[in-house]
Chain A
Amino acid sequence: MNPADPSPLWIRGARVLDPASGRDEAKGDVFVRDGVFVERLTAAEQAKARVQDGKGLVVAPGFVDLNCRLGEPGRTARETVRTGTRAAAAGGFTTVVTMPDSLPAADNVGTIQLLREICARDAAVRVLPTGTLTKGHEGKALAPIGSLKKAGVVAVTDATSGVQNNEIMRRALEYAAMFDLVVLDHCQDSSMTEGGQMHEGAWSLRLGLRGLPRTAEEIVASSDCLLAELTKARIHLQHLSSAGSAEIVRRAKARGLPVTAEVSGLHLLLADSALKDYDTRLKLNPPLREEADRAALVAALVDGTLDAVCSDHSPCTATEKDCEFDQAPFGAASLETTFSAAYEAVVLSGAADLALLVARLTAGPAKALGLAAGTLRVGAAADLVLLDPKAKWIPSAKTLFSKSGNNPLAGRALTGRAVATFVGGHQVHGA
């Protein structure tokens, strides 16, 4: 992380949106001194401040992503902390939570320390690591969760391996709760998804691809809720993809269970019919599901069932995705396009206003993990984004900051984007 800029910062005349504090002004100012938000600057400070004209723009807290991969350690052909965090900054994210399925896996203190060293040197935004829940995310024995916490992890998860054994999940929840760590779960019963390539439905049948049924996700979403009830421990369900999963979370929350959940920008925007030409960039896990699921996810985000929009940024090289569909790895690069995707799906569609979407990108995820981030409150770290909701742009592999080659929205006309991003008052993206 770069040190805070010495000179004060003045965002002048922007629409100000801070869902955490309820601040929503059609035209207002935001001031930063010494890397934190302040009430106002003195006349002398204003005179020497860096001034950003906010006309026609929205100033919001920097986005918080609960689900991404930055390639390090071990997957540097796909992404690095340097490229991945610049992609994050370009996408408006100032805090990103990384998944532990690196090479080697983040199931030990050394790997967490290594990642933190790399981040101290190369990161443009705040990177918060997670640790695995079990050793090697193999689902057999618990990882040293207490030591991982000491090393700086903000949550534990077995990432896309999921946890297949209810006994292990139960004990992991109890154990992690002792350290006040939230367990993140990729909900999937792997016995039902072997060989699966896409959502099981009419399109998988037409394309001759093995399916990942909704039920495989919903069974684990249900068991996670039941285990949260049993253990009273906090669990966060990652990138949910089906209408049924959203309904399960809705009911769990109605019963007061300590469950939160997220959805990716791509799952809000696209459905399985987008795979009709075997586009490997859209091969995701969980898979894109049907239009009715997509619509239900948008509705669940709006009514608060889903707490957060995540990027689920899973970089791959262009070469890795340039092959037969069933041989391509899962995942999409998306840090730079998550806001635009969600903006189209949630705001331009008329489902909700920008303030709601910003809440799900800031206060929602911050609260889910108990992070001190995602607000413009006086005294908070000056992480902010300036958005141009009217900006039209077409991402391309050439102009995206990510090193990866698998952003499925490359070449698509998008609306809305971050024009400037600041971390601790220091500009990390934009002119």
Chain B
Amino acid sequence: MAKQDTWTKKDLTGIEELTRAEIELLFRQADRFLPALAPGKGLDLMKGRTVVNLFLEPSTRTRTAFEISAKKLGAEVVSINTTASSLVKGETLRDTALNIRAMGVDAIVMRHSSAGAARYLGEVLDISVVNAGDGAHEHPTQALLDAFTLRQRFGKVAGLKVTILGDILFSRVARSNILCLSKLGAEVTLAGPATLVPAALKEAFPQVRLAHDLKSALRDCDAVMLLRIQHERQTTTHFPSLGEYTSQFGLNAERASWLKPKAIVMHPGPINRGVEVESEVADGPRSVILEQVRNGVAVRMAVLHLCTKALSR
């Protein structure tokens, strides 16, 4: 695979739009930013630039990680969350974005409940747009930090077997991870109840394997990615109750013992302890959850740096 030296995209709207070479280029950039994560080690690559975090759906972790990433690069950061946003007053997304743009901003990081919203914004604006989650579509920086963590642990992603367990149907993290891991040469298994892991996923993503039996999904994987089970969906028809979910698919110590000795446990957070994962596993030796969080800053620094640099070129 030829090495790519330059990043040409002003936006990161999804993994779908990235090539393997671009993902690897971004990882090399994130490698170089890792030392800057130490306290007192900020950089000034984005000095004088302004990043707006436009979060139209609740988020603490992702928004904070983007804020810290931008600040570590020396940028100014303004965060707008859903209650403060004028969108609740009926302004269109185009108008909100054009207003922010008119104030002289370099990049907008957006989380939005509508699938496709980031791509739409990227077409509307001539500044950088970074997708921090669009509906059930994509959450590209989460997938990038997950793959980056796997690469750190195992040396490379190609050839790894990764099981994604939980609410695949509604998960943007799952979609971005399926695309990212496949592009990097990993084998992906999707596991969970049949209502959340429907057979049609195989048509949408022919490269994946589906499993409704936990043991077969865990037995020979190198990593299991747990997805948060969302309380708000408990009342829908997709599974009977959180308790039922836990009894069938929750990762406890006994089930974790089915994993290979070196297999790791990942989670994008926030964790529902005792629902999709028990504390013993979440805090245990297999867990890389806090490494994921830390790598998330380096990866997002790389995204912000590369996209805004591509724009000024």
Contact = CB atoms under 8 A, between A and B. Distances in A.
Interface string B196-238: 0010110111000000000000000000000000000000000
Contacts of A324: 93, 112, 114, 116-117, 120
A303 B140 CA distance: 48
B56 to A, nearest CB: 10
Question: Which of A207, A278, A324, A327 has the most chain B CB atoms closer than 10 A to its own CB?
Answer: A324
Given A278-B119, A327-B114, A209 B200 contact: no
Interface string A268-308: 00000000011000000000000000000000000000000
B172 A278 contact: no
B167 interface: no
Contacts of A196: none
Interface in B138-166: 138
A323 interface: yes
A205 B116 contact: no
Interface in B104-133: 112-117, 119-120
Contact of A208 (B92, B93, B115, B205): B115
Contact of B94 (A208, A210, A322): A322
A208 B204 contact: no
Contacts of B114: 324-327
B42 interface: no
A212 to B, nearest CB: 14
B134 interface: yes
A206 interface: yes
A277 B175 CA distance: 16
Interface string A199-213: 011110111111000
Contacts of B116: 207-209, 278, 324-325
A208 B203 contact: no
Interface string A301-329: 00000000000000000010011111100
A205 B115 contact: no
A277 B119 contact: yes
B74 interface: no
Interface residues of A, number: 20
Interface string B167-206: 0010010010000000000000000000000101101110
A208 B200 contact: no
B137 interface: yes
Contacts of B274: none
Contacts of A203: 204
Nearest to A191: B237
A201 B200 contact: yes
B203 A201 contact: yes
B73 interface: no
B114 to A, nearest CB: 4
Contacts of A201: 200, 203-204
A207 B115 contact: yes
A25 B259 CA distance: 77
A273 to B, nearest CB: 12
Nearest to B114: A324
B137 A208 contact: yes
Nearest to A290: B203
A206 B200 CA distance: 10
Contacts of A319: 92
B115 A209 contact: yes
Contacts of B201: 205
Nearest to B176: A208
A339 B92 CA distance: 35
Contacts of A207: 115-116, 137
Contacts of B266: none
A325 B115 contact: yes
Contact of A278 (B94, B115, B198, B205): B115
Contacts of B200: 200-202, 205
Interface string A365-393: 00000000000000000000000000000
B115 A202 contact: no
B134 A208 contact: yes
Contact of A323 (B92, B115, B137, B138): B92
Nearest to A325: B116
A327 B92 CA distance: 10
A21 B200 CA distance: 48
Question: Which of B112, B116, B134, B198 has the most chain A CB atoms closer than 10 A to its own CB?
Answer: B116
Given A208-B175, A278-B116, A326 B94 contact: no
B136 interface: yes
Interface in A27-64: none
A322 B115 contact: no
A327 B135 CA distance: 12
Contacts of B175: 206, 208
A326 B92 contact: no
Interface in A71-117: none
25 contacts: A201-B200, A201-B204, A202-B200, A202-B204, A205-B201, A206-B204, A208-B115, A208-B136, A208-B138, A208-B172, A208-B175, A209-B115, A209-B116, A209-B137, A278-B115, A319-B92, A322-B92, A322-B94, A323-B92, A323-B120, A324-B93, A325-B114, A325-B117, A325-B120, A326-B135
Interface of A: 197, 200-203, 205-210, 277-278, 319, 322-327
Interface of B: 92-94, 112-117, 119-120, 134-138, 169, 172, 175, 198, 200-201, 203-205
Which 8 A-B pairs give the minimum distances between C-beta atoms? A208-B137, A324-B114, A278-B116, A208-B136, A205-B204, A208-B115, A202-B203, A202-B204
Given A205-B205, A208-B137, 6 more contacts: A197-B115, A205-B201, A208-B172, A209-B136, A209-B137, A325-B120
